[in-house]
Structure 1
Amino acid sequence: MPQLVLASASPRRRELLDQIGVIYRVCPVDIDETPQRGEAARDYVERLARAKAQAGFRASGGREPALGSDTTVVIDGTILGKPVDEEDAVGTLMRLSGQTHQVMTGVAVADGEQCLSRVVITEVCFIQFDKQRAHAYWRTGEPADKAGSYGIQGLGAVLVESISGSYSSVVGLPLAETASLLEYFDIGVWQNGGAQ
C-alpha cells in the first residue's frame, strides 16, 4: 500500500521516485504558479513545492503524506518558465546559449501537521549554439513542456557542457534531499527494489 502521495503529473518525477524505490500513488494538483511581485526565484520554487504538497495532502483525503516539487530555470535573476510557443522557446534557448544558468528545484513533504521543504540549486553551463540548432531542437517536441525550454535527461543533453550540483534536481527532483525528507516522515526508499 502506498505511503506517499505524489502531487504531480510529471513523468520525470515518477521515474525518479521509482529509481529510488519509493512506493507512492499519483494525485496531481492544480495551483496558481504565477510568481509574486518581487519574489526571488528560490522563494518562488519553495513556495510552489510547499503549496503542491499541502494541496496534494488535502486532495488525497489526508491519509498519507504528500510530496510536492517545482523546478525553474533562472538566468541573471530572471525566472524562465515553460515556453508558450516556438519563438518563446528559441528566445530562451538563445539566452542560455554559451551561458551558465541556475536550475532551482524545491521539494516539500506535508502531512497536515507540518510541511518540510528544501531548495536545491544547480549550475548548468550550455555550449554555444545558433538559432538553427535551437529551432531544430524545438521541432523534436521535447522543449514544449520544460522549464527553460530544455530537458537535460533527453535530447537537450547535447546542449549541456557541464553541471555543478545535483543532476536529479535538474531533471525535476533532488533525490538525496527527497530521501532525507521522506525519512523524516518514516517513508522508506528502496521499498520496491528500485527501477524495474
Structure 2
Amino acid sequence: MAPVILASASPRRKQLLEWAEVDFEIMVADTDESYPAHYDPEAVAAHIALHKALAVAERAGNSRPIIAADTIVVLGGEVIGKPRDREDAIGILSRLSGKVHQVITGVSIQYPAGAINFTDTTEVAFHELTAEQVAFYVDKYKPYDKAGAYAIQEWIGVVGIKNIKGDFYNVMGLPVSRVVQALASIGY
C-alpha cells in the first residue's frame, strides 16, 4: 500500500507516527486557521483539522488517507493559541500555573471512500509554578510554536505537571492510538 499522508510539519506528530510504525509521507498546504467566533473549543479543533486535510487533499488528490490534526489548549472555556513572543509565553504559563486546563486535538482523516473526523480531550493539571521556573522554561525551550506555550514531553512537563486525565500523546499533538485504530478500520 502507498504510504498515508501526514498533513502536518509538526516534528511531534511525525515522531508519534514513526513510533506507531505507520508508513507515511509529509505534505503540507498553507491553511487559514481562523474559525467562526461562536464555535465551542472542540468545534474549533475539528474545523481547523478538517481544513488542513482538505487543503492537502486538493493538492494530492484523495487516492490514499490524509491525516490532519490541530491541537488547542483551553482554560476556562478560552482557546489559548501559540504565544506571540517571550512575554506572551510567560503570561500563558503563569495563567496555567496551579490550574486544570484541557488539551483538545481535532483529527481529520480523508480517504477515497469518505472521512473520519473526531476530537480527543485530555485534562492537564499544573502544579503552582514559580516565576523563575516559567522564565527558565521559556528561555531555554522557546515554546513559541506550541499551543499553550508548552510541550508535555519537555522539562516543564516533567517538573510542572501534577497529573493528566486522558491520552498523554494527545497532549503531544496526536491521539495516535485512535488514529491507528481509524486507519485499521479503513484497511490501512
Same fold, judged at TM 0.5 (above) = yes
Measured against aligned partners, the alpha-carbon deviations of 1:154-181 in whole angstroms (never above 9, x if no partner) come to 2221211110100010001102211121
Measured against aligned partners, the alpha-carbon deviations of 1:62-94 in whole angstroms (never above 9, x if no partner) come to 332200001000000000100001111111001
Partner of 1:169: 170
Residue 49 of structure 1: CA displacement?
1.3
Measured against aligned partners, the alpha-carbon deviations of 1:97-148 in whole angstroms (never above 9, x if no partner) come to 0000000011110025422111110000001012222111110134111100
Tell me how far apart the structure 2 counterparts of residues 163 and 43 of structure 1 sit (CA, whole Å). Answer: 22
The TM-score normalised by the length of structure 1 is 0.90
Partner amino acid, structure 2, of 1:153: Q
Tell me how far apart the structure 1 counterparts of residues 59 and 6 of structure 2 sit (CA, whole Å). Answer: 11
Partner of 1:191: none
Q: Is the 8 A contact 1:5 1:26 kept in 2?
A: yes
Q: CA RMSD in A?
A: 1.3
Structure 2's unaligned 5+ residue stretches are none
Q: Percent identity?
A: 35
Partner amino acid, structure 1, of 2:25: R
- How many residue pairs get matched? 187
Residue 59 of structure 1: CA displacement?
1.8
Tell me how far apart the structure 2 counterparts of residues 159 and 185 of structure 1 sit (CA, whole Å). Answer: 39
Q: Is the 8 A contact 1:54 1:111 kept in 2?
A: no
Partner of 2:85: 85
Partner of 1:69: 69
Structure 1's unaligned 5+ residue stretches are 188-196
Per chain length, whose mean CA-contact separation is higher, i.e. which structure has more relative contact order (CA < 8 Å, sep 6+)?
A: 1
The TM-score normalised by the length of structure 2 is 0.94
Tell me how far apart the structure 2 counterparts of residues 62 and 108 of structure 1 sit (CA, whole Å). Answer: 13
Runs of 4+ with deviation above 4 angstroms: none
